[in-house]
Amino acid sequence: MTQPTLSVHDLACVRGDRLLFKGMNFQVEAGELLLVQGGNGQGKTSLLRLLTGLSTPEAGEVCWRGDSIRRQQETYHREMMYLGHANGIKDDLNPVENLRFAAGLQGCAFDENQAIATLRNQGLSRCLDLPCRVLSFGQRRRVALSALLLAGALLWILDEPLTGLDIHAVALMEGLIRTHLAAGGLAVATTHQAFNLEGMPVRRLLVGNVAIPELA
Amino acid sequence: MNLYTYASPATFYHLAGRLIPWFAWAAGLLTVWGLYVSFFLAPTDFQQGEAYRIIFIHVPAAWMSMFIYLVMAFWGAIGLAFNTRLSFMLARALAPTGAMFTFVALWTGAWWGKPMWGAWWVWDARLTSELILLFLYVGIIALWAAIDDIRRSDRAGALLTLIGAINVPIIYFSVKWWNTLHQGASVSLTKAPSMAALMLQGMLILAFAAWFYTIAVALARVRRIILERERHTEWAKAILAETH
Amino acid sequence: MAEPSMHRFLLAVLRRDLTLAARRRGDWLIAQFFFVMVASLFPLGVGPEPEMLARIGPGVLWVAATLASLLSLSRLFADDHRDGSLEHMVLSPEPTVLLVLGKSLAHWLIYGIPLLLIAPILGLQFNLTWAAILTLEISLLLGTPILSLLGSVGAALTLGLRGGGVLLTLLILPLYVPALIFGAGAVDGVMAGTGAEAHLSLLGAFLVLSLLISPWIAAAALRVSLE
């Protein structure tokens, strides 16, 4: 099997009438984090949606393991996990039920003990039976994170993962990403905030107006 | 001739501009000739008198309303398969004309029905199918209007047109079925008077006239759409500048 | 041969939607009451004469069932779209067609089947014979899944649009006409003594066709709407 690499060639993105960026090229290797930064409305989320395959680029292509993601949707979706602004958590279900469904989505068998253990590690032991509606934003984020962890995906695509989290949760998240990278995973994240990034191999990408030069 | 060059909106814009006068003239001449045949040459039907002549407009209009819908579905499918913007624009340019012909078919059907059967509207198979076709057209146009993002709008409309096109034969069949069950064959506008050769000729000429008219109007409309969508490009800006 | 992961996926979607509907019983009840109310409006509008009611009954009940189903269709994808779970589902390794099939099936189980349970009672209100009511049940059994399937296409196309529910109805009703004609026609056939087999076979064929075509178009429409 080829190396797990996320690469982007000559990518261009149009939203409505506006050209957000064009000629974008970069590569993310195993164990690396790509940090996407830029002002609001500049195309950070659009870029992430292009990477997941939810949106189609105006030009260029996104490749996983050297092959276009359009040609290997099933494989790519199995190895990639997306965490967007909205958590993707059903408010009417409790955390365990949400995780059960997330496992079903991946086509995997559900290990309830492992799920509960993960939720406990995230500090949600007292919330296991409650509908997610009554949880705080930060707690719901952590349920979504548990789903991310259980899926065991190689590539994490995270949109503003630190938003709405308190200091402890932020440290927890950074720790999780660090562990993921150390195990050979890849991650792409957008952020407004400061990430504590010592020890993590990080590339930065600035999304601004129109042409983006190659990453240094 | 490489067809792909014509898929470029800029090239097509100019090509369309050159073609429109030809089609417009052809449509005009055929209409005059067709109306002459229909209203002066074709014999009076001994059963239905002079009023039957409205079918010379009704039948071609009904044919065109159906045909245009299928052409729209075709262009939508091409656009979805090959991701060509021009195909979607052509589909959009055709829709209003198709809806118009459906409307004309319904009105002329009613005008025919009144002297024949004494009622403005009879639920005969063809008229009812035309009514449903009108609903399909309205649905597509409403969907296009409701979506702001052009790309999504084009594709959603194309998908809807496709599923409508698959359904249209079924709808037509089911309405005919319904009609024969409930009213029998007596009340039927589809049962046109047995055609004298001149009558058929008149209808065919007017059908071709309608076809050329449609092409001319659709080309004109697609040029407007192209200019609007490509207004950020250099060539479009030049054209818009000189017309002001 | 479908792999186990596809089975798991389909079951997960079904189980989730059924659980969610069970926790929001209000929405579900409203749709059923709507069915009853619309059907009850007709006698108020046209008069209670039994023979006439029996005459218009099949058509009225079919139209009322259609409208009640359409009421709930706009929410097929909308709720999931709002909390981001729809994108998760589309990003699953399993094909989107399976997702659409699962949700259509869930919709039918939740909103279609109850109509079948209520229809006989309304049939009695419209003075239909037991034979007619039985035929009505069979025709609705075939017709309500068609509506869930066609409706999924409409719901996917109108995802997130203003005026979504009304627009969805406008788009789907013309496509549903054949089902209405064959379905109500079947009951009419039984009442007139001409039999319902032909109608029901045609209805069944229409169901098979919808099953073969709608999920693909709805999946494509979903991807288009999520771009």
- CATH number of the CATH domain containing A12: 3.40.50.300
Determine what percent of chain C falls in helix, strand and coil, rounding each to the nearest 5. Answer: 85, 0, 15
Calculate how close chain A gets to C224, using CA atoms only, in Å.
9
Q: Do C8 and A91 count as a contact with CB atoms less than 8 A apart?
A: no
Q: What pLDDT does B195 receive? A: 62
> Chain C within 8 Å of B150 (Cβ-Cβ)?
no
Chain C residues 97-136 with CB within 8 Å of chain B: none
Interface confidence (ipTM) of the complex: 0.90
Q: What pLDDT does C101 receive? A: 95
d(CA A125, CA A132): 13
d(CA C34, CA C155): 20
Q: Do A52 and C16 count as a contact with CB atoms less than 8 A apart?
A: no
d(CA A4, CA A6): 7
In a domain, A216, yes or no: no
Calculate how close chain A gets to B21, using CA atoms only, in Å.
33
Q: What pLDDT does B47 receive? A: 63
Chain A residues 43-62 with CB within 8 Å of chain C: 52-56
Cβ contact C116:C134 at 8 Å: no
Evaluate the CA torsion angle B57, B58, B63, B64 in order and state its sign. Answer: positive
Q: What is the DSSP string of chain B?
A: --HHHHTSHHHHHHHHHHHHHHHHHHHHHHHHHHHHIIIIISPPBTTTBGGGGGHHHHHHHHHHHHHHHHHHHHHHHHHHHH--HHHHHHHHHHHHHHHHHHHHHHHHHHHHHHHHHS-S----HHHHHHHHHHHHHHHHHHHHHH--SHHHHHHHHHHHHHHHHHHHHHHHHHHHHHHHHHHTTTS-TTSPPPPPHHHHHHHHHHHHHHHHHHHHHHHHHHHHHHHHHTTTSHHHHHHHHHT-
CA distances from A25 to A46, B29, C69 (A): 15, 58, 49
In a domain, B76, yes or no: yes
d(CA B93, CA B16): 13
> Chain A within 8 Å of C226 (Cβ-Cβ)?
yes
Residues in CB range of C168: below 8 A, 6 or more apart: C70, C73, C74, C151, C154, C155, C157, C158
Q: Which amino acid is at A173?
A: M
Q: Do B148 and A17 count as a contact with CB atoms less than 8 A apart?
A: no
In a domain, B13, yes or no: no
Q: Do A108 and C11 count as a contact with CB atoms less than 8 A apart?
A: no
Cβ contact C116:C133 at 8 Å: no
Residues in CB range of B54: below 8 A, 6 or more apart: B108, B111, B112
* A3-45 tens-digit pLDDT: 888 999 988 888 877 888 888 898 888 888 898 888 777 788 8
d(CA C11, CA C5): 10
Q: Average pLDDT for consecutive 10-residue bins of chain B (244 residues)?
A: 66 88 91 84 67 82 93 95 91 96 91 76 82 95 93 95 92 84 53 65 89 93 90 82 73
Q: What pLDDT does A196 receive? A: 67
Per-residue pLDDT of chain A (216 residues; tens, 9 = 90+): 578 889 999 888 888 778 888 888 988 888 888 988 887 777 888 899 999 999 988 889 999 998 898 888 888 999 999 998 888 889 888 999 999 998 888 877 888 888 888 888 888 888 888 888 898 888 888 899 899 888 888 999 999 888 878 888 888 888 888 889 888 889 999 887 767 667 777 888 877 643 344 443
Q: Do A17 and B232 count as a contact with CB atoms less than 8 A apart?
A: yes
Chain C residues 159-178 with CB within 8 Å of chain B: 161-163, 167, 170-171, 173-175, 177-178
> Chain C within 8 Å of A102 (Cβ-Cβ)?
yes
Calculate how close chain C gets to A164, using CA atoms only, in Å.
16
- Per the structure, the count of domains in chain B is 1
In a domain, B12, yes or no: no
Q: What pLDDT does A215 receive? A: 41
Q: What pLDDT does C17 receive? A: 93
Q: Which amino acid is at B236?
A: A
Q: What pLDDT does C201 receive? A: 94
Calculate how close chain A gets to B82, using CA atoms only, in Å.
14
Quote the pTM value. 0.89
Q: Which residues of B touch A16 (CB under 8 A)?
A: 148-150
Q: Do A16 and B149 count as a contact with CB atoms less than 8 A apart?
A: yes
- Per the structure, the count of domains in chain A is 1
Per-residue pLDDT of chain C (227 residues; tens, 9 = 90+): 457 788 888 999 999 999 999 988 888 888 899 999 999 999 998 888 988 999 999 999 999 999 999 988 988 999 999 988 999 999 999 999 999 999 999 999 999 999 999 999 999 999 999 999 999 999 999 999 999 999 999 999 999 998 878 999 999 999 999 999 999 999 999 998 888 899 999 999 999 999 999 999 999 999 999 98
For residue C91, give the nearest of A77, A97, A104 by CB distance. A77
In a domain, B231, yes or no: yes
For residue B171, give the nearest of C162, C177, C202 by CB distance. C177
Q: What is the DSSP string of C81-130?
A: HHTTHHHHHHTSSS-HHHHHHHHHHHHIIIIIHHHHHHHHHHHHHTT--H
Q: Do A104 and C84 count as a contact with CB atoms less than 8 A apart?
A: no
In a domain, B207, yes or no: yes
Q: Which residues of B touch C224 (CB under 8 A)?
A: 152, 155-156, 159
Q: Which amino acid is at C29?
A: L
Cβ contact A28:A182 at 8 Å: no
Structural domain that includes position B227: 19-41+53-242
Q: Which residues of C touch B135 (CB under 8 A)?
A: 170, 173-174
> Chain C within 8 Å of A157 (Cβ-Cβ)?
no
